[in-house]
Amino acid sequence: MNIILMGPPGAGKGTQSEKILAKYNIPHISTGDMFREAIKNQTKLGMEAQSYINSGKLVPDEVTIGLVKERLSQPDCANGYLLDGFPRTIPQAEALEKLSQEIARPVEIVVNITANKDVLVERISQRRVCPSCGNSYHLTFKKPQVENVCDGCGASLIQRKDDTIESLNVRLDAYENQTKPLVDFYSEKGLCKEVDGLQSIDDVFKNIQDILDEVK
């Protein structure tokens, strides 16, 4: 399956990607995760992206498109892909049209997870992540077994640098102005399905499974 997961910051894209990956075994491509990995390793890409990400701004299209082009050309994507956080602008969506044709894997479904600002602020402020393995937690809804310790690898949990209220406001603006127009872009093609992200993590996943099982 060739899937896009869309939604504002904190809607649950990463959380649901993990569950989709476990059930359907589709390569999970998160541009945010790829940028964070590059920053951790201090690569050229990481140094270029760092200031944009920490302040909550979108990384320029040509950088992001180049990254996804390379990733989609890897052999595992011949069986499909789950894009999380890409595309986020109209030029990125247009580039994806071309890239997906090149690998003969056109987008089949766009799942748009919705949530309101109050909930997004709450989720982002309560999120904790593992700096070592990337696992993600929530202080109330997805608690680690031992307070502040990663279940997967035992490292101490941290907050993402862009999970401050200042950066979140910039990210929400970027979503409204640059990403939300993609809902129309994909709705006009008949590809967009909405899921209510205010439900529990498991109920959101149930809705997503219903949508994906129809595509299969």
Q: Are strands 192-196 and 109-114 parallel, antiparallel or unpaired?
A: parallel
Tell which phi-psi region holds residue 42, choosing left (phi > 0), alpha (psi between -120 and 50) or beta.
Answer: left
Active-site position among 71, 123, 127, 193: 127
Catalytic annotation present for 160: yes
Q: Say which entry of ligand AP5, Zn ion, Mg ion, none residue 200 contacts (CB below 5 to 8 A, set by partner kind).
A: ligand AP5
The b/e string for 27-47 (b: 16+ C-beta within 10 A; e otherwise) is: bbbbbbbbbbebbeeeeebbe
Active-site position among 19, 57, 105, 160: 160
CA distance 71 to 5: 17
Annotate each residue in 98-127 with x if it binds ligand AP5 (CB under 6 A) or - if it does not, as one string.
-------------------------x--xx
Could you tell me the two tokens for 160?
A: 């993402």
Determine if 71 is a binding residue for ligand AP5 (CB under 6 A).
Answer: no
Max CA separation in the chain (angstroms): 47
Which residue is associated with the tokens 């401050």? 164
Minimal distance, residue 59 CB to ligand AP5, in Å: 4
Q: Say which entry of ligand AP5, Zn ion, Mg ion, none residue 31 contacts (CB below 5 to 8 A, set by partner kind).
A: ligand AP5
Catalytic annotation present for 127: yes
Q: Say which entry of Zn ion, ligand AP5, Mg ion, none residue 138 contacts (CB below 5 to 8 A, set by partner kind).
A: ligand AP5
Determine if 14 is a binding residue for Mg ion (CB under 5 A).
Answer: yes
